Structure 1
Amino acid sequence: MPLTLSLSPDDLTRCRFAISPLCQTHEALRMLRRSGRHGYHRAWLRRVAPTVAGLDLAPLWLFIPPAGGYTPDFLGAPPEEPYPSFEDELARLRATDLDRARTEMARSLACTPGLTESPRGRAALDDPAGTVRRLADLTEQAWQTLLAPDWPRHRAVLEADIAHRSRQAADGGLDALLADLHPGIDWTDGSLTLPLLGDPAEAQRADGRGILLMPSVFVWPDVVSGFARPWQPTVIYPARGMGEFNTTPVPRPSEALARLLGRQRAALLAGLGTPASTTDLARRHGLAPSTVSAHLSVLREAGLLGSRRQGHHVLYGRTPLGDALVDGT
């Protein structure tokens, strides 16, 4: 059932982006819970399978319905800051108001017939403080084992998406940005229409606070929207370049080249068999764009790279000297 948000001028001027490690963790958990739906993340699923086998996620699965029902908002609440740390978000989860937690958990359990009256469902609702504590502990464990080791690469993909969307807004205004977020999102005459699982009456409405836009590596092929009151209206959409995260290996330069140039610069040079932009390289190598830019400048000054402009991007490629150095000739 669709959710239509009529955006006022105040909403449009307050649209913002954010990257949330907590939300990414719970999108990853939803992906694990519903992995049979499609194979897009098959490579990631294979990679984490041994780790997942050692985790007892049953208390979390209780509140992540496999058929796509409601997951309590407090588990992955929209962040208040653009780039919060996982530690700050986890502290916010642990401090969830218990009445709100119980209400949201009851709504989630009701998505699965009989679960509310089951021994596990009753125990969770009878002790909301203990349940929130256990869910927070499991969320922290999932973050540390499933996402934290790869977080620089995740974040690079998300930052690259935000940079692309920001360029869209700069070139074509918010119309260009909102119309291109996802095929399932319609932007017409000031109204944003989103796919929604559940009752639209429960969803937060646009109220002048703006729309929070969050790219995600794991949400594909869906869009997540409709956080309930009091959360800010939020759209979690698939990030551009997430396929590259799952399928493109990090280039491995020779040990000799790494000793000569340093491992990061050597990896960047080795990975430039075809020209790429700073943003692409940051995403591919899991580095901050500023770090990549600094390394590229050094490599270019040394005569190992050349650059050319293509549209709004500057593409970097190896020179013959760079090729010879990578090939060891």
Structure 2
Amino acid sequence: MPLALPLGTDDLTRCRFAISPLCQTHEALRMLRRPSRHGYHRSWLRRMRSTVTGLDLASLWLFMPPPGGYTPDFLGAPPEEPYPCFEDELARMRATDPALAHAEMTRSLACTPGLAESPRGRGALDDPAATVRRLADLTELAWHALLAPDWPRHRAVLEADIAHRSRQAADGGLDALLTGLHPAVDWADHTLTLRRYVDVPDAQRPDGRGVLLMPSVFVWPDVVSGFARPWQPTVIYPARGMGRLHTEPVPRPPEALARLLGHQRATVLAGLATPSSTTDLARRHALAPSTVSAHLSVLREAGLLVSRRQGHYVLYGRTALGDALLDRGVGPEAV
């Protein structure tokens, strides 16, 4: 049977969104375990192949069973803040109660017959505190190797999804938001039903704390729900636009604009469909970071870009004037 989440009045008034870099890291790792199901990210998988080969992630793979199995929730616990940084989430993971970790790891290992009794399984359960530390160290390694270089672009996609759904709620109320969450999610009679998710006897039910909605780049084609206590009930769904994240070709600027600004500078401007960092733009356009930085400075001084700091990154995005130039493909005098 599908998983049904009946939402009372308190739950509806406390529904919230969040973006979790820790959760995204483990969703990316799960995707690496079953790449055939994630055609949208084939270019990312090809780019990460050599990186993954150089990582020893066996201890993490131990707790990522086949589809339908349980992954310990403490590996990617629902964040308490809307936009936590990875370091804060990792510190919270490191502080996991060993008794809770033991219970969740036992449940995960039981999904694969014989794994709990294997030397690796017994070793992990014999010292849960040490296992949590080891899993946290590997998660930090995976974050820096697999996700951190792309995180500004990923976060921009996730933020755009939340902005879109917030507008849906503003225009049509929570009914419009929950009805349009995903084709596999139904909303009727105050019940959120995940049709592709199997119900289990101890599934977490909303209890007045609300439901946390988290867009994900890597969860497709699934919708995932966290159900183990003490975590807040959570629905993780595929973000809008995630299919173009790694496959979208570099746009070609209008010829008139390229003549006005120079081809490279116009291409950088055209490539800022979503806010991006200097490093991301350099990789996307096959340019040196110093070259991209120089182009961005000129474009910002001309009023075509704005920048904002986000954690350790500076993200650049087009202004209305920059959008207008691309739409018309002509110089500022025609805007």
Aligned to 1:66: 66
- Which whole-Å deviations, capped at 9, do the CAs of 1:210-254 have from their partners, x for residues lacking one? 11000000000000003211111100000000011021145598x
Aligned to 2:329: 319
Separation of aligned partners in 2, 1:171 and 1:218:
28
1:282 to 269, 275, 278: 275
Equivalent residues of 2:3, 2:199 under 8 A apart: no
Q: Secondary structure at the match of 2:275?
A: helix
Counting only pairs closer than 5 Å after superposition, residues 110-149 of structure 1 correspond to structure 2 as 110-149=110-149
Aligned to 2:319: 296
Give unmatched runs, 5+ long, in structure 2. Answer: 282-304, 309-314
Separation of aligned partners in 1, 2:214 and 2:263:
32
Aligned to 1:275: none
- Range moving further from structure 2, 235-244 or 59-68: 59-68
Amino acid at match of 1:321: G
Counting only pairs closer than 5 Å after superposition, residues 224-303 of structure 1 correspond to structure 2 as 224-250=224-250, 266-267=266-267, 269-271=269-271, 280-282=273-275, 295-297=318-320, 300=321
Aligned to 2:292: none
| 1:191, distance to aligned residue in structure 2 (A) | 0.6
- Percent of aligned pairs sharing the same letter: 74
* RMSD of aligned alpha carbons: 3.1
Counting only pairs closer than 5 Å after superposition, residues 1-329 of structure 1 correspond to structure 2 as 1-195=1-195, 200-250=200-250, 266-267=266-267, 269-271=269-271, 280-282=273-275, 295-297=318-320, 300=321, 306=324, 317-321=327-331
Amino acid at match of 1:91: A
Give unmatched runs, 5+ long, in structure 1. Answer: 273-279, 308-315, 325-329
| 1:92, distance to aligned residue in structure 2 (A) | 0.3
TM-score, scaled to structure 2? 0.81
- Which whole-Å deviations, capped at 9, do the CAs of 1:122-141 have from their partners, x for residues lacking one? 11000111111110000000
Equivalent residues of 2:57, 2:138 under 8 A apart: yes
Separation of aligned partners in 2, 1:60 and 1:194:
27
| 1:5, distance to aligned residue in structure 2 (A) | 1.2
Q: Secondary structure at the match of 1:225?
A: strand
| 1:270, distance to aligned residue in structure 2 (A) | 3.2
| 1:200, distance to aligned residue in structure 2 (A) | 2.5
TM-score, scaled to structure 1? 0.82
After superposition, the Cα gap between the structure-2 partners of 1:319 and 1:198, relative to the gap in structure 1 and judged at 3 Å, is closer
Equivalent residues of 1:160, 1:283 under 8 A apart: no
Equivalent residues of 1:7, 1:190 under 8 A apart: yes
Q: Secondary structure at the match of 2:121?
A: helix
| 1:281, distance to aligned residue in structure 2 (A) | 3.1
Amino acid at match of 1:244: R
- Range moving further from structure 2, 53-62 or 195-204: 195-204
| 1:50, distance to aligned residue in structure 2 (A) | 1.0
Separation of aligned partners in 2, 1:177 and 1:103:
35
Number of corresponding residues: 299
Equivalent residues of 2:94, 2:132 under 8 A apart: yes
After superposition, the Cα gap between the structure-2 partners of 1:199 and 1:116, relative to the gap in structure 1 and judged at 3 Å, is farther
